[in-house]
């Protein structure tokens, strides 16, 4: 697979100085926190990511139904697992450890990945490595961008946060107080409603979110609430309500509503990132998560970082969204740092916070 | 002119205004925002800051005096305070009797503000200044009007969280002193109710472990 073959040009020993990179270690990682079931395989030797296979549950209508998503994962799990192993040209016996994302995420979905991981670990006598999904996004992002100490903007369907590393772990600087950015965009696209040709599904067409495509038809943004940034946090629910109402009231100006809506929403997360950048005096920004693919968000982030003389980067879209390779990569780091757990302790943690997760290999 | 301080949102310049030492606070345009939205954001925050500062002064809060405001260019000319941020003060001194006195005074001033229905909106230790022996509450750009007690509690929650993120080891003591000051103005009962609301607001946060246990 092309994306999995892309190599980072930096040296892992610069990114992870405290890990002994001498011996070859191979870790298989399982992702099932939300709509994607993915399996990845990582190695401590270049090209680091040996395989990346996944399948994503797409609801026929509405948002993700956790139970239906979990059923999807159960159905595709064996096939995705085999796909990853054959892509890497390995047997499960060649793997040194099995990693799994235990949270944060949707309970029913998490339990599928955890069950598969526990079964593999027990049957093949492999160490089990617990992985935090948010931290996995960050570390695969660092591997592919070579940013050694970035401010992180993580935006997806279920998460919106800005974090930076300090003293042993990533600290959450700001986050959403209600819904995530991706959730906001999708819910607005469903409920506005958007013009017939743009109405989801799908939510993304030709690499653009339908809300962005709708915004291209606008020229004069309508008045919507600007108070999305609350100190270091963001709150989107008021913007959502006002935008849906405006779209229903101003039928002939839906493009202008979309324009105002997405401008306010994207600018808010960029502003919080800017606050964190200035506050921490760091010089890099890493963009990860499913919404990282948005060209409009990327442009805004580029503009902001250029103003502050900072650089920014994002992993390729396939690895920016949910995937198994990132779980394998963080699993490898955790395994090499000695962070494993017993099968009994491998229980899902829906509310596992990023700032409750140690990152000892950063020091 | 080189700024005295470059924040994420505004630049501060040392200037003279009608013969007084003053501070010019400028909110520059942001290229990442759509021009129409950028203007709306900068204008509304400039106006909110002036309005909030004036209301705070009326309530008896230590806040910088406003000399002049240029709404079109988003520049506020105000009193220049010579001091250090309360965050830096805690960094430098830790928890001393004086730190606790200042924290109590911060609580007292917050209660004065809230009694008038004014919300600060970003009540962190980085928005408090220690000048001489006085504590000032600054930066009213996100201020607004409180309709409910819960909204006032959000201010206090933010104060507590700012301690948690910068001075976790001092949080309990400093927060207690703040609440004592709050009670001096608002009364013991109100302060206790606020403390309860602060805990409720924390529970509303994302991924809070204890929340699970509280569910039936």
Report the chain B residue with the minimal C-alpha distance to residue A172.
Answer: B165
Per the model's pLDDT, the better-predicted residue between A146 and B211 turns out to be A146
The CA distances from residue A221 to A104, A228, A242, A245, B60, in Å, are 36, 16, 13, 15, 40
Q: Is B6's CB within 8 Å of A279's CB?
A: no
- Give the per-residue pLDDT at A6: 44
Q: Is the pLDDT of residue A18 over 60?
A: yes
- CA-closest candidate to residue B197, choices B163, B159, B151: B151
Q: Is A263's CB within 8 Å of B33's CB?
A: yes
Distance CA A49, CA A7 (A): 8
* Per-residue model confidence as pLDDT tens digits over A96-143: 999 999 999 999 999 999 999 999 999 999 999 999 999 999 999 999
* DSSP state, residue A341: B
**Whole-number average pLDDT of chain A:** 94
* Per-residue model confidence as pLDDT tens digits over A270-306: 999 999 999 888 999 999 999 999 999 999 999 999 9
Distance CA A36, CA A54 (A): 7
Distance CA A208, CA A219 (A): 18
Of the candidates A104, A274, A300, the beta carbon closest to that of B8 is on A274
Report the chain B residue with the minimal C-alpha distance to residue A303.
Answer: B32
Max intra-chain CA distance, chain A: 64
Q: Is B158's CB within 8 Å of A231's CB?
A: yes
- Cβ–Cβ pairs < 8 A, chains A and B: 72
A275 touches chain B (CB under 8 A): yes
* Per-residue model confidence as pLDDT tens digits over A58-87: 998 888 999 999 999 999 999 999 999 999
- Residue B189 CB partners (closer than 8 Å, separation 6+): none
Which residues of chain A lie closer than 8 angstroms to B213, CB-CB?
A: none
Task: Give the residues across from B176 on adjacent strands.
Answer: none
* Per-residue model confidence as pLDDT tens digits over A246-276: 999 999 999 999 999 999 999 999 999 999 9
Distance CA A248, CA A253 (A): 10
Tokens encoding A351: 């509310």
Across the range A208-224, mean pLDDT stands at 97
Contact assessment for residue A340 and residue A97, using Cβ atoms and an 8 Å cutoff: yes
Across the range A223-235, mean pLDDT stands at 91
A255 touches chain B (CB under 8 A): no
Across the range A184-195, mean pLDDT stands at 96
- Give the per-residue pLDDT at B207: 66
Q: Is B206's CB within 8 Å of A176's CB?
A: yes
A259 touches chain B (CB under 8 A): yes
* DSSP state, residue A361: G
Q: Is the pLDDT of residue A5 over 60?
A: no
A256 touches chain B (CB under 8 A): no
State the catalytic residues of B: 122
- CA-closest candidate to residue A172, choices A357, A362, A354: A354
- Residue A3 CB partners (closer than 8 Å, separation 6+): A52, A316, A318, A319
* DSSP state, residue A360: G
- CA-closest candidate to residue B16, choices B68, B63, B53: B68
A124 touches chain B (CB under 8 A): no
**H/E segment holding residue A166:** strand A160-166
The CA distances from residue A286 to A29, A154, B194, in Å, are 22, 8, 38
- Our CA-based measurement puts residue B38 at a distance from the nearest CA of chain A, in whole angstroms, of 9
Which residues of chain B lie closer than 8 angstroms to A231, CB-CB?
A: 121-122, 124, 142, 158
Contact assessment for residue B53 and residue B104, using Cβ atoms and an 8 Å cutoff: no
Which residues of chain B fall short of a pLDDT of 50? 212-216
Which residues of chain A lie closer than 8 angstroms to B142, CB-CB?
A: 229-231
Of the candidates B8, B32, B44, the beta carbon closest to that of A300 is on B32
Which residues of chain A lie closer than 8 angstroms to B201, CB-CB?
A: none
Across the range A36-40, mean pLDDT stands at 98
Q: Is A221's CB within 8 Å of B34's CB?
A: yes
For the question of an ipTM over 0.95, the answer is no
């Amino acid at each position: 697979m092309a994306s999995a073959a892309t190599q980072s040009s930096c040296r892992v020993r610069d990114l992870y100085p405290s890990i002994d990179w001498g011996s070859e270690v191979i870790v298989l990682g399982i992702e099932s926190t939300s709509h994607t079931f993915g399996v990845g395989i990582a190695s401590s030797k270049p090209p680091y990511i040996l395989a990346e296979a996944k399948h994503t549950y797409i609801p026929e209508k509405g948002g993700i139904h956790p139970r239906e998503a979990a059923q999807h994962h159960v159905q595709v799990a064996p096939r995705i697992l085999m796909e990853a192993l054959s892509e890497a040209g390995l047997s499960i016996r060649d793997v040194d450890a099995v990693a799994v994302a235990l949270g944060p995420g949707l309970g029913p979905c998490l339990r599928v990945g955890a069950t598969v991981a526990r079964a593999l670990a027990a049957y093949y006598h492999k160490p089990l490595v617990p992985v935090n999904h948010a931290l996995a996004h960050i570390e695969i992002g660092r591997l592919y961008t070579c940013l050694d100490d970035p401010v992180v903007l993580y935006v997806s369907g279920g998460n919106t946060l800005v974090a930076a590393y300090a003293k042993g772990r990533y600290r959450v600087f700001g986050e959403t107080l209600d819904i995530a950015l991706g959730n906001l965009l999708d819910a607005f696209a469903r409920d506005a409603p958007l013009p017939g040709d743009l109405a989801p599904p799908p939510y993304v067409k030709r690499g653009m979110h339908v809300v962005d495509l709708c915004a291209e038809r606008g020229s004069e943004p309508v008045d919507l609430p600007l108070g999305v940034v609350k100190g270091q946090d963001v709150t989107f629910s008021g913007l959502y309500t006002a935008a849906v109402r405006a779209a229903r009231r101003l039928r002939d100006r839906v493009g202008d509503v979309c324009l105002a809506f997405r401008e306010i929403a994207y600018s808010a997360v960029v502003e919080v990132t800017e606050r964190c950048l200035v506050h921490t005096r760091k010089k890099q920004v890493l963009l990860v998560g499913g919404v990282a693919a948005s060209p409009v968000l990327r442009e805004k982030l580029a503009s902001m970082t250029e103003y502050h003389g900072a650089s920014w980067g994002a992993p390729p879209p396939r690895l920016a969204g949910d995937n198994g390779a990132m779980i394998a990569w963080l699993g490898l780091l955790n395994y090499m740092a000695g962070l494993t757990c017993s099968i009994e302790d491998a229980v899902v943690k829906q509310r596992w916070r990023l700032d409750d997760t140690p990152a000892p290999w950063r020091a | 002119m080189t700024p005295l301080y470059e924040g994420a949102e505004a630049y501060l310049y040392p200037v003279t205004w009608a013969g007084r030492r003053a501070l010019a606070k400028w909110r520059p345009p942001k290229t990442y925002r759509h021009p129409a939205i950028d203007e709306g954001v900068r204008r509304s925050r400039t106006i909110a800051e002036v309005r909030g500062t004036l209301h705070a002064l009326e309530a008896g809060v230590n806040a910088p005096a406003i000399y002049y405001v240029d709404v079109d260019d988003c520049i506020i000319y105000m009193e220049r305070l010579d001091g250090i941020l309360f965050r830096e003060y805690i960094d430098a001194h830790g928890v001393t009797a004086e730190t606790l006195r200042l924290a109590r005074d911060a609580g007292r001033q917050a209660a004065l503000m809230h009694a008038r229905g004014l919300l600060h909106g970003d009540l962190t230790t980085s928005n408090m200044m220690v000048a001489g022996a006085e504590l000032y509450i600054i930066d009213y750009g996100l201020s607004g009007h409180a309709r409910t007690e819960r909204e006032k509690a959000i201010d206090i929650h933010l104060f507590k969280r700012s301690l948690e993120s910068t001075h976790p080891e001092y949080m309990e003591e400093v927060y207690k002193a703040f609440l004592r000051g709050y009670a001096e103005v608002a009364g013991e009962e109100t302060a206790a109710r606020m403390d309860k609301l602060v805990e409720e607001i924390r529970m509303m946060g994302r991924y809070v472990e204890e929340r699970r246990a509280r569910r039936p």
